Structure 1
Amino acid sequence: MMLGYPKPWKSYQEQLDQLIARGMGVTDNARALDYLERIGYYRLSGYWYPFRERVDLCPLDPQTNAKPKKVKVERLPLDEFKPGTTFQNAVDLYVFDKKLRLLVLDALERIEIALRVDISHGLGKHHKFAYLKPELFHESFSSKLDSKTGLTKYHGWLSKHAALINRSKEDFIRHNKDKYGLPLAVWVACEVWDFGTLSTLYDGMTEADQDAISSQYNISNGRIFASWLRSLNYLRNVCAHHSRLWNRNIVDQPKLPPVGQVPSLAAFHNDPQRQARPFMLLCMTQHLMKIINPSSSWGARLKALLENDFPDLTHLDLGLDRMGVDDDWKTRDW
């Protein structure tokens, strides 16, 4: 039997009183209340979560009453905050994260547009309605049935594509429908595909077509590049939905190309902890940006943001290492 949600509704003042009671310093109550009203306790709690005290939790061996050798020690968060924690620390971290998300979205927009061209141009040379030709895709995408739904991944993609076309209010879509009817040529239809639609379609392309696109980005293996696009789509969704990014745990991690193929990723090989943090995805983004627009200042802007806007949280034992930065990130060619 599921238990009911135990936490009661609290007024903004009660929320602030609770934070103060748990050890959070507040120098301007009115300003703190304003932030709680405009941003919300729950959203801000993701930023002060690392400020909470921790206690090591390790089950003892019932036979010896001692710590087992191969058991991982868990750090259980307590309600109380570390000494020196302030409400402003959480706000500053929130503002930094917001700036980071906006900067990342700027790059992902450019990458998404470039991919529309790459994919539509590559498929278009096979057929102007290539996306309606299952024989042009890998059999795992176009023929393999899902055991639960009885459908292929291609069926699911077509449904998403049709929804995007039908929902679109763009003048060029209406013009093409009125003048030429359906279906739309791939180089027209692609303009309404979002990052996820592009990523899924690329994942279903033949290996030869994948390799032809990935090689343009100095990645020889198209399957590796497919994993990049899945992860960058995840990154885009995090940013687009205003979710916390700076220290997020990346569950679906991209594959890395062979050592040396992408020098900026050298530090992440054989380092599972850094692979699970967002900085690796930012380095991948910068790699693609340098190819799409070599004169772009995006990398320099990212470096400046990390150097100048990340708040000083050394008193809470927090730094950019929680993002997964490597030791040489400042000296990299941005």
Structure 2
Amino acid sequence: MAYSRPWKSFPEQLELLKSRGMVVTDEAAALDYLQRVGYYRLSAYWYPFRTFEVVQDSKTEKLSTRAMDEFHPGTQLVDAVRLYLFDKQLRLHAMDALERIEVALRVDIAHLMGERSVFAHLDQSQLHPSFIRKKLRNGQTRFEQWQDKCLNLQRRSKEDFVKHYRAKHGESFPIWVAVETWDFGAVSQFFSMMKVKDQLALSNHYGVNDWNTFQTWLRSLNYLRNLCAHHSRLWNRNVADQPSLAGTDTIAWCRSFIGKEDLIAKPFLLLAICRHMVKIICPDTKWHTRLADHMLSFPAQHSSRRLSVMDMGVPEGWDSWW
């Protein structure tokens, strides 16, 4: 299929927005944002201000909504810009928490597993048998694939301690050194390979009684980390890798989300998981209060289409337990 939309200059992009009903009160500032941030990135933030119509598929007769090329009355470009800036700061807050969580999990895993085996991350006897036996389509086992991943992470690292250790001891890194080359995805993957007793020990440390649920939390936090690292829209995103809340009814704040699929599908639950874990890692932390202050600074809009933090999947009464 041939692409038919032509290239447009920044002034032409601005004129297109105005022709669709976007109010621009400061053209110089508007052009500056189009030049620095880009039309396509900003479009994710003015998208909620577009009007929608209900359409019916002629073959299946199913109903769906379609975005129209016009904005709700009163929508200003500054509404989208302020939402973009709110989201940018939200991602920075999330990355602050995720750094603490990732570093703490590295220490937790290395301390727990390293006591029994210096090379526990490469010791088949220390891992769940299913990952040793089960073969993937390429003929490798999950364990063999993991070995390759560990080696690649070590080789890609430019850290001085990695160069020093390799020069002194070769490629076989003890687990407490190896974990420092892992990203969040590797941490999450290794947790899934651990024996159940070790998974329980770690999940219980973070106040979660169900190891499988905690495993989904780590996967979801890795998803959140990737969104933030790639500067993707976060605030009202539909979460692709959703966490489970099975067995969390003893965790008071989880009751605000249990059984509410619309809230579980939104990013605020991931931020609540961050809060839960950061408060265990750093009991005196003020991270959650800084995030709450940011949530309360959600920008007002000129548009007749009103948005709020509730679009993030925030439950009613969240500030009473946050």
Partner of 1:220: 209
Q: Which residue of 2 aligns with 1:318?
A: 307
Amino acid corresponding to residue 126 of structure 2 in structure 1: L
Show structure 1 runs of 4+ deviating over 3 A.
Answer: 58-62
TM-score (norm 2): 0.96
Contact 1:218–1:261 under 8 Å retained in 2: no
The equivalent position to 1:99 in structure 2, one of 89, 92, 101, is: 89
Write the distance in 1 (CA, Å) between the matches of 2:265 and 2:73: 28
- Cα distance between partner residues in 2 of 1:154 and 1:8: 49
2:238 equivalent among 232, 249, 252:
249
RCO higher in 1 or 2 (8 Å CA, sep ≥ 6)? 2
> Are the aligned partners of 2:72 and 2:304 in contact in 1 as well (CA < 8 Å)?
no
Structure 1 residue 59 displacement after superposition: 4.7
Residue 61 (structure 1) shift: 9.8
Equivalences for 1:129-168 in 2 at 5 Å?
129-146=119-136, 148-168=137-157
State the alpha-carbon separation in 1 of the partners of residues 74 and 255 from structure 2.
37
Amino acid at match of 2:269: M
**Distance in 1 of aligned mates of 2:53 and 2:156:** 51
Superposition map of 1:1-334 within 5 A: 3-59=1-57, 73-146=63-136, 148-308=137-297, 310-313=298-301, 315-332=304-321, 334=322
Partners of 1:261 and 1:290 lie apart in 2 by 17
Provide the secondary structure at the position in 2 that maps to 1:166: helix
Distance 2:141 2:26 in 1: 57
Contact 2:23/2:75 (<8 A) preserved: yes
Q: Is the 8 A contact 2:208 2:248 kept in 1?
A: no
Asked if the contact 1:253–1:275 (Cα under 8 Å) also holds between the matched residues in 2, the reply is yes
Q: Residues 156 and 7 (structure 1 numbering): CA distance in 2 closer, same or farther, change over 3 Å?
A: farther
Determine the C-alpha separation between the residues in 2 that align with 1:234 and 1:173. 27
Could you tell me which runs of 5 or more consecutive residues in structure 2 were left unpaired when the two chains were aligned: none
Query: What is the number of equivalent residue pairs in this alignment?
Result: 321
Which is further off, 52-61 or 173-182?
52-61
Matched-pair contact (CA < 8 Å) for 1:224–1:255: yes
Q: CA deviation at 1:260?
A: 2.9
| TM-score normalised by length of structure 1 | 0.92
* CA contact 1:274–1:280 (8 Å) conserved in 2: yes
Does the 8 Å contact 1:135/1:142 carry over to 2? no
State percent identity of aligned pairs.
46
Q: Which runs of no fewer than 5 residues in structure 1 stay unpaired?
A: 63-67
Cα shift readout 1:43-75 (whole Å, capped 9, x = no counterpart): 00011111100111245899xxxxx8xx5x422
